[in-house]
Chain A
Amino acid sequence: MSAYGALAFTSPLFLLFLLGALGATAVFPLRHRWVPLLTASYLFYASWGVGYLLAVLGSLTVATWACGLTLERDERRQGVALAAGIAVALGALVGLRYVPFLADNTNRLLEVGGLRTRVPVPEALSSLGVSYYTLQAISYLVDVRYGVVGAERHLGRFALHLSFFPKLLQGPIERAPGLLPQLSGRVQVRGVDLRAGTQLILWGLFQKIVVADRLAPFVASVYGDLRGHSALSILLATYFFSAQLYFDFAGYTDMALGAARLFGIRLTQNFDSPYLARSVAEFWRRWHISLSTWLLDYVFRPLQLSLRDWRTWGTPAALVLTFLASGVWHGASWGFVAWGLLHGVYLGTSILYRRPQGKLHRLLGLKESLLLAPLQVAVTFHLVCFSWVFFRAPSLDGAVWAAGRLIRGLPDALVRLARGGDVDSVVYLGQGRGAFVGAVALVVVGALLRSYLRRAGVTQERRERTTQPPLASTWVRAAVYAWMVYLIAFAGTSAQGFIYQRF
């Protein structure tokens, strides 16, 4: 999925591109700043070398913009305009992402039904960024329809709203009330923006190429050959994957936030220490926040209200359906469907478990116990890790096999390890002790630095850094940043593509 000259966030070329875009915006008056930003965004998209994607983005932009105006101006045609706009966005999403999957599964059904007819299975198309900007288009139309935001009259600014390059390929999925007003040309870039933007880019780069990409080989060696590994190795590789995915996506998000901030634009934060969540519901308030709030507002709430006649079962059913949709959104494969279903079942069950939960805690003496919070964090983390097996495994068969092995084989694997089993291949996942210890240390350092920067207010967009004193002296901070630059330059692995870019 990369063309020669593609402006990947981790490439030196992207830094040059950012400098060029900054220079271009500096010479334009604020009111017309959308011109260089829109040009840069389309150049950025074009750099990936997939011509038809530019046409898709352009047509979707014009169609959504026109439907938005109709929604506001013509009350009688609101229903048609909303349906047409959503159909265009969903059509682009389905057409680019799901046709081979649908055709393949239709053929399987035909085969099961004993029919000889087959539908042709087309080649998979590139859908880079499509999953993200189509959701943004849909939320814009619904927001205009229900009066949450006014329709944008300026086509150029609306095009920038959908295509703004820092968030084009993998979010955050921005809402119109948050982003559109910032593109109106009244936002001044200040020194604090340039500083915070640079810090965020540096920090994101560190999370991606020093931490996440260092963890990737451990995960790949086990998930590439699940049947050749013990339950303990699968468990450790899944822990590593939970960290890899987090630093990969949070690193990307910080770079996106940083790149936008250089232009004085604030995007929404996607992460809030998700692995410290005390329930799966809380996990979803802290992980990929822009997607989960999107699903909450545009899928879950309407579904929940539509199913309200089912009384007690309405909300759990709406949760299962919403997370199924989330699974399908992540990719056209049964593994993602199973992953979404699993989270739907977790959340649906938690709704039904709410009342007995209090009684159970009292019964176990956990109600006032200091152990309750760490216990809930640990249980939630393991439920999430269990779901990552379905997310990461190459196929649903593989995932089901690995999940079964984890459940049945773990006690046995621990006993064998205690008797002096092959530590090198089981625990170090065949990567050697030094690499293993180094990777664990990087996860710890990554988590500590993330928490430090969060407290310092760098990753929290809504808080002004200037309102509180820095947490460490200038020298300490300079040393930390110098060390980060050193690691990025010399200890980063050759950067792999971002995981969430595939969705």
Chain B
Amino acid sequence: MVSEKLKGVILKELELDDWDIQDETTAETVPGWDSLSHVRIVNAVEDAYRVRFRTSEIVRLRNVGQLQELLDKKLS
């Protein structure tokens, strides 16, 4: 499940007050989440959690749930 913290980081980067972000949420369905903001979101998530993703790990992600899983794996 997408944590409140991750949701907060994403919404802040997209300058959105609120948006329903679930495991199945994909970038195309969220306003402003294009290829430019995508990189900013990756940077913001890495900064917020003090983790480092490999490019191949990010390219593979299909939705927010998979980003959460990747984060959980990195943090465990």
Contact = CB atoms under 8 A, between A and B. Distances in A.
Interface in A126-150: 146-147
Contacts of B39: 304-305, 308, 314-315
Contact of A351 (B36, B59, B60): B36
Nearest to B52: A309
Interface string B34-65: 01100100110000000000010011100000
Given A304-B35, A306-B55, A315-B36, A146 B43 contact: no
Contacts of A305: 39, 42, 55, 58-59
Nearest to A305: B55
A315 B39 CA distance: 8
Interface in A280-310: 296, 300-302, 304-306, 308
Contacts of A146: 59-60
Contacts of B55: 302, 305-306
A311 interface: yes
A296 B34 CA distance: 12
A304 B35 CA distance: 9
Given A146-B60, A314-B39, A315-B39, 8 more contacts: A147-B60, A300-B35, A301-B59, A302-B59, A305-B55, A305-B58, A308-B39, A308-B43
Nearest to B58: A305
Contacts of B43: 308, 311
Interface class of chain A by DSSP = helix
Contacts of B60: 146-147
Interface class of chain B by DSSP = helix
A305 B42 CA distance: 8
Interface of A: 146-147, 296, 300-302, 304-306, 308, 311, 314-315, 351
A315 B36 CA distance: 7
Contacts of A300: 35
A155 to B, nearest CB: 28
9 contacts: A147-B60, A300-B35, A302-B55, A302-B59, A304-B39, A305-B42, A308-B39, A311-B43, A315-B39
Contacts of B42: 305, 308
B56 to A, nearest CB: 8
Contacts of A301: 35, 59
Contacts of A314: 39
Which interface residue of A146, A302, A308, A311 has the most chain B CB atoms within 10 A? Answer: A308
Nearest to B57: A305
A496 B70 CA distance: 54
A311 B43 CA distance: 8
5 A-B pairs with the lowest CB-CB distances in the bound complex, closest first: A305-B55, A308-B39, A306-B55, A146-B60, A305-B58
A302 B56 CA distance: 8
A300 B35 CA distance: 10
Nearest to B43: A308
A302 B42 CA distance: 13
B15 to A, nearest CB: 13
Nearest to A312: B40
Which interface residue of A146, A305, A306, A311 has the most chain B CB atoms within 10 A? Answer: A305
Contacts of A351: 36
A300 B55 CA distance: 12
Which interface residue of B36, B39, B42 has the most chain A CB atoms within 10 A? Answer: B39
Contacts of A306: 55
